[in-house]
Amino acid sequence: MVSNKKLGLIGRNISYSFSKKFFENKFQKLMLKDYSYNIFDLSEIQEVENLFSSPELLGFNVTIPYKEKIIDYLDELSDEAEKIGAVNCVLIQNGKKTGYNTDAFGFEKTLLLHKKPQQDSALILGNGGAAKAVKYVLDKHGIASKTISRNSEINFENLDQQTVKNHKIIIQCTPVGTFPNIEDCINFPFEGLSKEHLAIDLIYNPNYTKFIINASEKGAKTVNGYYMLEQQAEKAWEIWNFQKK
């Protein structure tokens, strides 16, 4: 009998997810008939307990708002996940639940593809799980960064043009502007941007958020979150399939 191998994504209000389509295409390409990928829309993180009782579950991805909350439900964390303090990929093996962070891998690939040598300091907009992975990668590459959040010293109310001018990499890590709220945009002094800037928005749906459109109008090089998403998904696939030694 063919055993069923279940994967999936946990989050809240995630019917728009990229992951399901991505992995179903992968199963098709690799002719894996016994794999399935499901969307687990949880209104509270506690509901993840029900998932763990499924013997066919190999693992799952984790998205907003559970990247930090999931940690309490796991047995072990990878080095990156521990340092970052956020998990977006879980492997279940012999009942043991291990958390990984493949966002860092995906963001690092994106950053190194587009960064210019003179772009040596960054502003991280937001302070959730994705922002933590971004900070980890910037630290690893010796790129000085400041985090802008609602409650930080420099916040969305007092961030000024000069600070933006002085930091040539801007990474938008909040969910503001995600489909279906595509007209929304964070409060940001776009006048501080120039063609010397790299502006990365981790959102992938829509392709061009209001943030990206506004940044490109000021001449900044702009990148969305699609490549990062693809790369973190490939890394998750590797974890689920090659950690079985």
CA distance 64 to 196: 31
Per the CB < 8 A criterion, the answer to whether 205 and 179 are in contact is: yes
Q: DSSP of 194-228, one letter per residue?
A: -TT-EEEE---SSSS-HHHHHHHHTT-EEE-SHHH
Half-sphere exposure (Cβ direction) of 106: Cα atoms closer than 13 Å: 27
User: Global pTM?
Assistant: 0.92
Give pLDDT, residue 3.
64
Domain ranges of the chain: 5-101, 104-227
Nearest to 198 by CA among 133, 110, 139: 110
Which residue in the list 67, 135, 168, 210 is annotated as catalytic?
67
First to last CA, the chain: 23
Domain 5-101: state its class: alpha beta
Residues of the chain with pLDDT under 50: 1-2, 244-245
Domains 5-101 and 104-227 fall in the same CATH topology: yes
User: How confident is the model over 200-229, as pLDDT tens digits?
Assistant: 999 999 999 999 999 999 999 999 999 999
pLDDT of residue 181: 93
Write down the pLDDT at residue 13: 85
Q: H or E element: which one contains 49?
A: helix 48-52
Query: 221: number of CA atoms within 13 Å, CB side?
Result: 12
pLDDT computed for residue 53 by the predictor: 87
Give yes or no: 195 in active site. no
Q: How far apart are CA 48 and CA 235, in angstroms?
A: 22
Q: Which CATH class, in words, describes the domain spanning 104-227?
A: alpha beta
Tally: H helices and E strands in the chain = 8, 11
Residue 61 corresponds to which tokens in the numbers above? 């991805």
Picking from 209, 62, 40, the residue whose alpha carbon sits closest to that of residue 130 is 62
pLDDT computed for residue 245 by the predictor? 41
Amino acid 196: pLDDT: 98
Instruction: Give, for 94, the enclosing helix (H) or strand (E).
Output: none
CB 59 within 8 A of CB 233: no
